[in-house]
Amino acid sequence: MNAPLYAALVLAARTVPVLPLRAGKVPFGNCPTCRGNACGGRPNMKTPGPCRCTRICHAWAAATTDPAVLASAAWAGPWREAQALAYHPGGAELTVVDLDNADAVSWARDALPATRTVATTRGEHWIYQGAMQSANAVRPGVDIKSRMSYARWLGPGSGAMTCLPTAVRALVEREETTPARGEVVSSSGRTEWDRSVATGCRHTERFVRTGLERGLALVRARPESGAGSQAFGVAQFLAAQHTACPGPCGLEELGWQVVAAAVSVGVPEPYARRAVTNGLNGTPAPGRAS
């Protein structure tokens, strides 16, 4: 078996989504059907699309943990030509701080908590546990690779992996397009669930949306009395659908929509929030709203 494919299957078995890279260490191009995103793109992309192409199209979005896809005939050609292996850090709940050169590495040694590091051609990858938004050039020679991004697999590296620190999140905060999660649920601008926040979800978009819509309908059908505990039940049900997913599944976004539905039928917001948080976390049912 070809070496990158073998390494890919080993990583995939550890729930790390992987894909081959061609010469130049970049993803393979799209097939004719997907060229120029004519297919609409894949369901897990930022703008979700209907593409079910079995070939290695759409760069990071093709990364998978499915051994049947990795070893499929459609991927055999790319594996033969592969020059490197890449993985999708966000899909494995990881963030790679890509330090391009010695200056960037010495900056990281001063500014960031130690974690697992992997040597690269001219610099290092610092790998943290936890996913976040990706961003290029957050500082000279520093890229953040996590959600909707790929990073080269250069071996397991060394050192203990630590949790994604605030210092790394702060590097891209100013680029966040969505407002910080604040106090008011019903305000506009709240992110609704879509495929882009569920990069580690095993379910189809339709499955998740059907579950959500049913739950919201149950909450809305219970004006005031009972809607709070219904929200708890719905949140618990939604969380249970994803216990076997590697995550992230966008549960937080699903939860906000349940809170908003409960608030819309008169449940006090703090109570609705608590009920949904407890439901998502699988904590015991709360008492009735006072």
39 or 263: whose CB is closer to Zn ion? 39
Amino acid found at 177:
T
Quick check: 169 binds Zn ion (CB under 5 A)? no
Beta carbon of residue 208, minimum distance to Zn ion (angstroms, whole number): 7
Closest CA to 243 of 198, 193, 202, 284: 202
In this structure, are residues 20 and 28 in contact, taking their beta carbons and an 8 Å threshold?
yes
Beta carbon of residue 39, minimum distance to Zn ion (angstroms, whole number): 3
Binding segment for Zn ion (CB under 5 A), chosen from 44-52, 110-118, 167-175, 262-270, is 44-52
Binding segment for Zn ion (CB under 5 A), chosen from 78-86, 116-124, 172-180, 200-208, is 200-208
- Given 11, 201, 218, 235, the residue binding Zn ion (CB under 5 A): 201
In this structure, are residues 119 and 87 in contact, taking their beta carbons and an 8 Å threshold?
no
- Whose structure tokens read 């216990």? 243
- Given 5, 7, 51, 171, the residue binding Zn ion (CB under 5 A): 51
53 or 172: whose CB is closer to Zn ion? 53
4 or 247: whose CB is closer to Zn ion? 247
Binding segment for Zn ion (CB under 5 A), chosen from 38-46, 129-137, 181-189, 219-227, is 38-46
Rounded to whole angstroms, what are the CA distances from 280 to 148, 195, 288? 25, 19, 18
Closest CA to 234 of 249, 248, 221: 221
Partners of 84 in beta bridges: 21
Quick check: 125 binds Zn ion (CB under 5 A)? no
- Whose structure tokens read 């976004």? 253
- Given 9, 15, 55, 130, the residue binding Zn ion (CB under 5 A): 55
Quick check: 231 binds Zn ion (CB under 5 A)? no
Quick check: 45 binds Zn ion (CB under 5 A)? no
Quick check: 280 binds Zn ion (CB under 5 A)? no
- Given 165, 172, 245, 269, the residue binding Zn ion (CB under 5 A): 245
The angle, 0 to 180 degrees and rounded to 10, between the axes of the packed helices 251-264 and 269-281 is 150
Quick check: 195 binds Zn ion (CB under 5 A)? no
Rounded to whole angstroms, what are the CA distances from 76 to 18, 71, 98, 223? 14, 7, 29, 56
- Given 7, 8, 34, 148, the residue binding Zn ion (CB under 5 A): 34
11 or 45: whose CB is closer to Zn ion? 45
Long-range contacts of 283-286 (CB under 8 A, 24+ apart): 285/229, 285/232, 285/233, 286/228, 286/229, 286/232
Binding segment for Zn ion (CB under 5 A), chosen from 39-47, 68-76, 141-149, 213-221, is 39-47
Beta carbon of residue 52, minimum distance to Zn ion (angstroms, whole number): 8
Helix ranges, the chain (H): 3-13, 67-70, 73-81, 102-111, 166-173, 205-220, 227-241, 251-264, 269-281
92 or 227: whose CB is closer to Zn ion? 92
Partners of 119 in beta bridges: 124
- Given 53, 69, 84, 172, the residue binding Zn ion (CB under 5 A): 53
In this structure, are residues 192 and 257 in contact, taking their beta carbons and an 8 Å threshold?
yes
201 or 212: whose CB is closer to Zn ion? 201
Binding site for Zn ion (CB under 5 A): 31, 34, 39, 51, 53, 55, 57, 201, 242, 245, 249
